[in-house]
């Protein structure tokens, strides 16, 4: 399940921060429960340090870590 990374916004209020957290958490929980087969297929043992990302719209993806700034 990919494609959630494009719509990043910076939450400003407590409600926006909570909505952001809640959506990201839901995406990660879905990856580890409902979509576990798809999640497992995306975990490539040839790649090191893969990360599971949850996005505010409840979408998840497995990808290499974002580069540190």
Q: What confidence tens digit (pLDDT) does each residue in 6-19 have?
A: 445 677 899 999 99
Query: What's this model's pTM, rounded to 2 decimal places?
Result: 0.76
| DSSP output for 1-69 | ----TT------SHHHHHHHHHHHHHHHHHHHTTTHHHHHHH--TTSSS-EEEE-TTS-EEEEPPPPP-
Mean pLDDT for the stretch of residues 30-59: 94
Higher pLDDT, 14 or 67: 14
Query: What are the domain boundaries of the chain?
Result: 14-63
For the chain, give the percent of residues with pLDDT over 70.
Answer: 83
């Amino acid at each position: 399940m990919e494609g959630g990374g494009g719509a990043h916004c910076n939450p400003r209020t407590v409600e926006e921060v909570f909505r952001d957290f809640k959506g990201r958490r839901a995406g990660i929980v879905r990856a580890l429960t409902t979509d576990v087969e798809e999640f497992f297929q995306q975990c490539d043992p040839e790649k090191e340090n893969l990360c599971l990302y949850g996005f505010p719209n409840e979408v998840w993806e497995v990808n290499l870590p974002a580069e540190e700034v």
